[in-house]
Copies of this chain bind each other. A is one copy, B any other.
């Protein structure tokens, strides 16, 4: 329902190429909205058809040519409209939890290994987010005010990751003491 709108939000701040957008998704926005490069290019095509964005081709000599997209008046209208509507509560689809739920089929060791792998990933993400937070906190007050809302989304990431890791520790300790028989 809204990679299109996520792209519009980014383009509203500054015109960008598809590649720039992908980078942006990988960094800031990507912590709460994932998109592969293919999908970004697909949606840019559709956004162009909708006339919510336009682009200008920039030819470059030392690098590949690129298309720089910017939001149109129609796009701004659509974005304002989307922003004024309530968004639906987020729905979660977490395969790791399905696996844990059916963990008696996996066996204790398999579960523990898998959990450890995910703990590493989440710890890495948390460190990364915390280093971005340090950058934010070192800004002067003007800039801090300017980036306040994106910072709030960063806080969501940090609080969320900490909670995830807290939960994972609980599961690890529980598994240690538990007797999980591998069924069938």
Contact = CB atoms under 8 A, between A and B. Distances in A.
Contacts of A88: 95
Interface string A1-45: 110011001001000000000000000110111100000000000
A109 to B, nearest CB: 11
Given A9-B101, A32-B97, A98-B2, A121 B89 contact: yes
Interface stretch (A47-55, A130-138, A158-166): A158-166
Given A159-B167, A170-B155, A83 B97 contact: no
Interface residues of A, number: 66
B102 A9 contact: yes
Number of copies: 2
A126 interface: no
Given A94-B33, A105-B12, A100 B171 contact: no
A8 to B, nearest CB: 8
Contact of A5 (B29, B98, B174): B98
A104 B96 CA distance: 36
Given A94-B33, A105-B83, A152 B179 contact: no
A179 B142 CA distance: 12
B149 A180 contact: yes
Given A33-B92, A86-B117, A180-B149, A9 B98 contact: yes
Given A80-B105, A97-B156, 19 more contacts: A2-B98, A5-B98, A9-B98, A12-B102, A12-B105, A32-B92, A32-B97, A87-B95, A88-B95, A89-B118, A89-B121, A100-B149, A100-B153, A101-B149, A101-B150, A102-B149, A103-B149, A145-B178, A148-B180
23 contacts: A2-B98, A5-B98, A9-B98, A28-B101, A29-B101, A32-B98, A34-B91, A34-B93, A80-B105, A80-B184, A83-B106, A83-B110, A97-B156, A100-B149, A100-B152, A101-B149, A104-B149, A148-B174, A148-B178, A152-B171, A155-B167, A159-B167, A160-B164
